[in-house]
Structure 1
Amino acid sequence: MKTAAFCSALLTLSLTMGGCKNEKEETDTTKVPGFDISSLDSTAKACNDFDSYVNGGWKKKNPIPGTESRWGAFGILDKENKEVRLRGIINEITELKDRKKGSEEQQIADYYQSFLDTATIEKRGLAPLKSYLDKINAITSLKDLAAVAGEMQKVGVASVTGFGVDADLRNSKVNVLYQGQSGLSLGEKSYYERTDSSTLKVRTEFVKHVDKMFSLAAFPEANPGKTILDFETKVAKLQLSNVELRDPVKTYNKMAFSDLEKLLPDFDQKTLADKQDIKTDTVIVQNKPYLQNLNALLKATPLATLKIYTKWQLLSRFAGFLPKSFDQEDFRFFNTVMRGTKEQKARVERAIRSTDALLGMPLGKLFAKKYFPEEDKKKVSDMIENVRSVYGERIDKLTWMSDSTKAKAHKKLKAFTYKIGYPDKWKDYSSIDIEADKLFENAISASLYGHKEQIEKIGKEVDKKEWLMTPQTVNAYYNPLNNEVVFPAGILQPPFYNRNADDAINYGGIIAVIGHEFTHGFDDQGSQFDDEGNLKNWWTASDRANFDKLTKKYIDYFSGIEALPGFKINGALTIGENVADLGGLTLAYYALEKSLKGKAEPAPIDGFNWKQRFFLGWAQVWHMNTTDEALRNQIQTDPHSPAKDRINGPLPHLKEFQAAWSCAPGSKMVLPDSAKIVIW
């Protein structure tokens, strides 16, 4: 699951869009078993390796498709949602005649067509990039560079710094401008620092990739790959790591915009902002030393190198919208080399996903209308309240927290709000200009719209009804600034939520997901925000010390797990998700137990009692096969532990698991009571 960012993503991120809600028409009534026993591997032992026991059979039957880098419940449901359900919706729309300009139907149909119009894409070549390339070539100073970078950031081209907009962490009712580090092609500084053979291979291939892209573009610069790798390595050394970025206090540096200009005087921040139509007197800076050191680096770097870097960022950003040779080379590096994906999806499937990425909310409105029964909202709402009730009971029973802090934890828990399925209100995106033969311009138009929408929020009240995910997304999130949990319609389907399954399976699935998101409000980051979503300490010093001691133990526990030879899980990076998994499982188990009070004991199903089926439900939502490349990338960049360890990692800490499966002391899936960690 995802936790909403504490500081806004840069304005360079892709736009997701909204549309209008209509009444229900049709729902998906396919029946899926609560748990398929053919997924089991009877040769494995539940108490030694629960993932292998529950999912070993499934893994053997479900090798990773050549078009994927990992294959599991999330990816399979995402494929169904997008490549089947959205495809059907898009096909229906493309058959409509007389689509009104600016209507959602026109935008969806024409964008989809523009992505499939490969003949026009090939014919146009790099012509769509010409105006940007001319501006890059005309750069004669760092101030010129800032102007060009500012203009290109409006359409999603990264630079070494960038701006974003989100609620003020210390005044969550008002939006403010954020400034943060950016610009690493490999995504995280560890890729520029590690010396193991697999990471060295990535860097070697990156150099070849950049050289190839420049060659395809017939750019005259010599050795661009080495030039860019050398420059980005220097930038990486100045940046905070992904672990350090988790600290909302350290990365909150509010100042006058004029003071930001003083930190980076040569890479003119006013020019960078003016070119993005940003008008504000205040900014929250992520890392002051980075800016001061970056200014010195930029001054010491030849302007020719900075121009090569800027060209590369432009080319990389739009590679998927250019002729096939660029698109394929971009896929080869970022998907095959970095993640182990062997082949690209068919153009039609990619057209659907690209349309979804650009026009996700208009498609989401139609998706929810067709595939999310209204009655499921009520069911999920009841589940959420059940989890809230159990969480309150768990807080009362904590032995490491004082009564005064418990009272404030209850206040925050009571203030939790939630969104289910799809937005209650939808935005109007009719001003985005989409044409059936101009793929590049369509992407530009949508990006400019999204950028304008973001900067117009600066200084204005936060819209608490806004969604950060589309309805068809197979995920969920907790937003600390709104103190809310959000569950899109896309994840409220089997195996996560199955209206035909027994309660134990659903509690191990969707209820644990709900508990997971609730627990994010009390993980190492979320616990620093109060009931109103403000970065504000509500803990006593001793209670905070107790909490930090427990999380440190859990960090050390996961840091000892080797996912691949030489690659151990980063416990400090994944602590938020790991705490949320542990909390989600605990809450879901006791919510299920509470729901059964006063009722007859549920009969075993397929030989498993309700306690065992609860844990089967948890394990099946994380069944997954993953390429080694994707796993290495995940360990270095992702705050989520690998799927296998999301199953096996928390279970040894649960006495409920040990009892359900009659695991003897000393089993691999059992820890001594003294080593078990209970946080929430």
Structure 2
Amino acid sequence: MKKNNAVKLPLLAAMVTFAACNSGSTQQHQEASTDTAKVPAFNLADIDTAYKACDDFDNYVNGGWKKNNPIPSTESRWGAFGILDKQNKEVRLKSIIAELTSKTDLKKGTEEQQIADYYTSFLDTATIEKRGITPLKPYLDKIDAIKTLADWAAVTGELQKIGVSTFTGFGADADAKDSKMNVLYQGQSGLSLGEKSYYMQQDSATKNVRDEFVKHVDKMFTLAGFPEKNAGTTILGLETGLAKIQLTNVELRDPVKTYNRAAFSELKTLAPDFDWDAFAQKQDIKTDTLVLQNKGYLTNAGKLLKATPIDILKTYTKWQLLSSFAGYLPKAFDEENFHFFGTVMTGKKAQKTRAERAIRSTDGKLGMPLGKLFAKKYFPESSKEKVSQMIENVRSVYGERIDKLTWMSDSTKQMAHKKLASFTYKIGYPDKWKDYSSIQVDKGTLLENAISAILYDHHENIAKIGKPVDKSEWGMTPQTVNAYYNPLNNEVVFPAGILQPPFYNPNADDAINYGGIIAVIGHEFTHGFDDQGSQFDADGNLKNWWTKTDRENFDKLTKRYINYFSNIEALPGVKINGALTIGENVADLGGLTLAYYALKKSFEGKEEPKPIDGFTWQQRFFLGWGQVWHGNITDAALRQQIQTDPHSPARDRINGPLPHLKEFQEAWGCQPGSKMSLPDAERVVIW
């Protein structure tokens, strides 16, 4: 339940909460997944006619749904993504795991044995209670033995291997300037609250989070029997010091400024008092070169660490270890961990059942082995063909849109076409599966099982340094309800998990599906041309392919869109960070535009579809967009999203781009001056 505060590497694939479609005929779908009932294209009961489409499209389309679907006590937000995720995990994965755990002859080291025994170990609360924090003792002993900053560097390096954060971290990925080869990246890390604004902002809500954090740390130390006094205040003080010198989440979006190739030895010049050799050796890292995220941070962090008493660093490291594995410890730790990271941070009222969490934990640690079984049972090979056709449809329309641009020169258009033609895509699940047999899993050792899976991931990642990139690799499991664009591979990826209603519905009319799945595909394509993706060429290298004037024109358009979203109030006194969300906002605007004209193009030479339920095809297109994003969210989760997430809130992903689309105003007959309409001079049209 602890918020992920993993190292923020600058150029990893952009995981975006928007994705692709299901496919194949209804018959094929039923053969692959017999648990899926026929889903209506659009439920008219979801509409709330107390609202007007031209004033608040979200509440018009989804007002009825919101009233009838309150947030469950175990969730901080509830919508199409969460509901489908619950179906995938708590129904489909559950059935797979139940079948495996019923068997008594599973061979040691097989994926089936790993899945079954990991799940069983998570449910064995009697053993977990009996063992207490004993599984952490070997690591705690090493922390207690620290006497110098050099000792601390070695121990934190060893803890990095098992996912325990400190002020910085390493990870391998494709070299942004030589995308065929992997390189080691360094990035800032170590903030328990996830982002520096939580340490800096002085509003009452953020201050309350910090106060609750101090209480949370103190209680966790008390539960563990640790002797340190005022640990919460101590840790908040150190993390605040780190936060002050870290880059903001907006600054981290700049792939040029965060790419600083250097010799490994330069680390010793930037922060000479930290033992970089020991830190790297404990992680089995051997390299002469790496890419630094921000040299200034390393220098300032080195000075901060040198000035910090070693006992404070030890207390901080104990906290990071305890917090990282709280969910695998006895009930008291687990519940306190949920209280802070679940209730205080996101507004959840109750934890999921132990069995539900066992499924999700198994999925988190053994996601790909589970994904192999999921894909086999729920996603037929034939589905890939339909999705491929949709992707090529979007590619074709995108090319036409590029040709019609008035703000881009012919020479840059030529390069844009080259990049568009070079886009590759992955659908459903990997073509080849890795060997996970080295992960050690036993029924009575939950925490050790988790560590073994983490170590597998660490060694696999570190082994890539200096090796050619394997472009067949996936950054998401097949059961994931999401999709992503990876600028380093110039690829879009659509897992099987999201290729289902409401994103794609084989029983729906084309307009609904184009407003859903095709807009999703267009969204991912547009990421290749957003504020970050546009800085990478057709080969996935960080390289300028624009003329100076064209880049200035693009930046002017995105600046206007940044200002537009920055004026949207998500909560009283809390506005969207337009600079943080610009990539996703541009992708939404582009995805909608591409999908609309792809739908229109599909009707060429055919009779225009007749209205359904009183709605024209143009209106149903936007109904499809609206229902993909229907959702409710707690104020705490919404506040956290505004501060940390590059995606705008769901209601603003619905309403936000629509005033910029003349097609929306024409579809719904919106008059000038309506809230969902803008004068032509104020519209932002990028792609």
- TM-score w.r.t. the length of structure 2 is 0.96
Q: How far apart are residue 431 of structure 1 and its match?
A: 1.1
- 1:154 correspondence with 2:158: no
- 1:501 correspondence with 2:505: no
Q: How far apart are residue 375 of structure 1 and its match?
A: 2.3
> Counterpart in 1 of 2:238?
231
> Counterpart in 1 of 2:72?
65
> Counterpart in 2 of 1:218?
225
Quote the Cα distance in structure 2 between the aligned partners of 1:516 and 1:494. 18
Paired residues of 2:258 and 2:294 also in contact (CA < 8 A):
yes
Q: What SS is found at the alignment partner of 2:181?
A: strand
> Counterpart in 2 of 1:240?
247
Residue 420 of structure 2 aligns with an amino acid whose one-letter code is L
- 1:305 correspondence with 2:312: yes
> Counterpart in 2 of 1:7?
11
Q: What SS is found at the alignment partner of 2:444?
A: coil
- 1:560 correspondence with 2:567: yes
Q: How far apart are residue 357 of structure 1 and its match?
A: 0.4
* Aligned match for 2:555, one of 538, 548, 561: 548
Residue 634 of structure 1 aligns with an amino acid whose one-letter code is Q
Q: How far apart are residue 369 of structure 1 and its match?
A: 1.4
Aligned pairs (5 A) from 1:516-595? 516-595=523-602
Paired residues of 1:6 and 1:169 also in contact (CA < 8 A):
no
Residue 195 of structure 2 aligns with an amino acid whose one-letter code is E
> Counterpart in 2 of 1:21?
none
* Aligned match for 1:55, one of 42, 62, 67: 62
Aligned pairs (5 A) from 1:31-430? 31-430=38-437
Name the stretch that deviates more: 370-379 or 431-440: 370-379
Q: How far apart are residue 652 of structure 1 and its match?
A: 0.2
Q: How far apart are residue 546 of structure 1 and its match?
A: 0.1
Q: What SS is found at the alignment partner of 2:261?
A: strand
1:366-419 per-residue CA deviation (whole Å, 9 max, x = no partner) reads 111111132221111000000000000000000000000000000000000000
Quote the Cα distance in structure 1 between the aligned partners of 2:58 and 2:231. 45
Paired residues of 1:505 and 1:617 also in contact (CA < 8 A):
yes
> Counterpart in 2 of 1:462?
469
Aligned pairs (5 A) from 1:606-625? 606-625=613-632
Quote the Cα distance in structure 1 between the aligned partners of 2:325 and 2:573. 34
Quote the Cα distance in structure 2 between the aligned partners of 1:92 and 1:342. 31
Q: How far apart are residue 269 of structure 1 and its match?
A: 1.1
1:487-524 per-residue CA deviation (whole Å, 9 max, x = no partner) reads 00011000001111100000000000000000000000
Paired residues of 1:5 and 1:479 also in contact (CA < 8 A):
no
Residue 588 of structure 1 aligns with an amino acid whose one-letter code is A
> Counterpart in 1 of 2:450?
443
Quote the Cα distance in structure 1 between the aligned partners of 2:9 and 2:33. 33
Residue 73 of structure 1 aligns with an amino acid whose one-letter code is A
| Structure 1 runs of 4+ with >6 Å offset | none
Quote the Cα distance in structure 1 between the aligned partners of 2:66 and 2:33. 30
Q: What SS is found at the alignment partner of 2:558?
A: helix
> Counterpart in 2 of 1:27?
33
Paired residues of 1:114 and 1:438 also in contact (CA < 8 A):
yes
> Counterpart in 1 of 2:604?
597
Q: How far apart are residue 610 of structure 1 and its match?
A: 0.4
> Counterpart in 2 of 1:12?
none
Residue 232 of structure 1 aligns with an amino acid whose one-letter code is E
Quote the Cα distance in structure 2 between the aligned partners of 1:105 and 1:25. 23
Q: How far apart are residue 97 of structure 1 and its match?
A: 2.4
Quote the Cα distance in structure 1 between the aligned partners of 2:31 and 2:84. 22
Quote the Cα distance in structure 1 between the aligned partners of 2:389 and 2:589. 22
Quote the Cα distance in structure 2 between the aligned partners of 1:370 and 1:127. 39
Quote the Cα distance in structure 2 between the aligned partners of 1:78 and 1:25. 21
Identity %: 76
Residue 554 of structure 2 aligns with an amino acid whose one-letter code is F
Q: How far apart are residue 25 of structure 1 and its match?
A: 7.2
Please tell me the root mean square deviation across aligned C-alpha atoms, in Å: 1.1
Q: How far apart are residue 603 of structure 1 and its match?
A: 1.5
1:580-602 per-residue CA deviation (whole Å, 9 max, x = no partner) reads 00000000000000001111111
Paired residues of 1:179 and 1:285 also in contact (CA < 8 A):
yes
Quote the Cα distance in structure 1 between the aligned partners of 2:61 and 2:380. 30
> Counterpart in 2 of 1:487?
494
Paired residues of 2:9 and 2:186 also in contact (CA < 8 A):
no
Residue 33 of structure 2 aligns with an amino acid whose one-letter code is T
Q: What SS is found at the alignment partner of 2:265?
A: helix
Aligned length: 663
Aligned pairs (5 A) from 1:645-664? 645-664=652-671
Residue 627 of structure 2 aligns with an amino acid whose one-letter code is Q
Q: How far apart are residue 270 of structure 1 and its match?
A: 1.2
Q: How far apart are residue 26 of structure 1 and its match?
A: 3.7
Paired residues of 1:6 and 1:481 also in contact (CA < 8 A):
no
Q: How far apart are residue 6 of structure 1 and its match?
A: 4.7
Residue 119 of structure 2 aligns with an amino acid whose one-letter code is Y
Paired residues of 2:9 and 2:171 also in contact (CA < 8 A):
no
Paired residues of 1:8 and 1:178 also in contact (CA < 8 A):
no
Q: How far apart are residue 423 of structure 1 and its match?
A: 0.5
Distance 1:139 1:251, change over 3 A: same
Residue 581 of structure 1 aligns with an amino acid whose one-letter code is D
Residue 593 of structure 2 aligns with an amino acid whose one-letter code is T
> Counterpart in 1 of 2:439?
432
Residue 68 of structure 1 aligns with an amino acid whose one-letter code is E
Q: How far apart are residue 8 of structure 1 and its match?
A: 4.3
Residue 190 of structure 1 aligns with an amino acid whose one-letter code is S
1:552-599 per-residue CA deviation (whole Å, 9 max, x = no partner) reads 000000000010012100000000000000000000000000001111
Q: What SS is found at the alignment partner of 2:502?
A: coil
Quote the Cα distance in structure 2 between the aligned partners of 1:201 and 1:664. 44
Paired residues of 1:390 and 1:587 also in contact (CA < 8 A):
yes
Q: What SS is found at the alignment partner of 2:492?
A: strand
Quote the Cα distance in structure 2 between the aligned partners of 1:211 and 1:522. 47
Paired residues of 1:50 and 1:648 also in contact (CA < 8 A):
yes
* Aligned match for 2:482, one of 475, 500, 513: 475
Residue 72 of structure 1 aligns with an amino acid whose one-letter code is G
> Counterpart in 2 of 1:453?
460
Quote the Cα distance in structure 1 between the aligned partners of 2:670 and 2:641. 31
1:105-144 per-residue CA deviation (whole Å, 9 max, x = no partner) reads 1000000000000000000001001010010011011110
Q: How far apart are residue 613 of structure 1 and its match?
A: 0.3
Paired residues of 2:629 and 2:653 also in contact (CA < 8 A):
yes
1:266-286 per-residue CA deviation (whole Å, 9 max, x = no partner) reads 111111000001000001000
1:276-323 per-residue CA deviation (whole Å, 9 max, x = no partner) reads 010000010001000001111111111111110000000000000000
Quote the Cα distance in structure 1 between the aligned partners of 2:76 and 2:11. 29
Quote the Cα distance in structure 1 between the aligned partners of 2:310 and 2:621. 60
Q: How far apart are residue 361 of structure 1 and its match?
A: 1.0
Quote the Cα distance in structure 1 between the aligned partners of 2:570 and 2:557. 23
Residue 421 of structure 1 aligns with an amino acid whose one-letter code is G
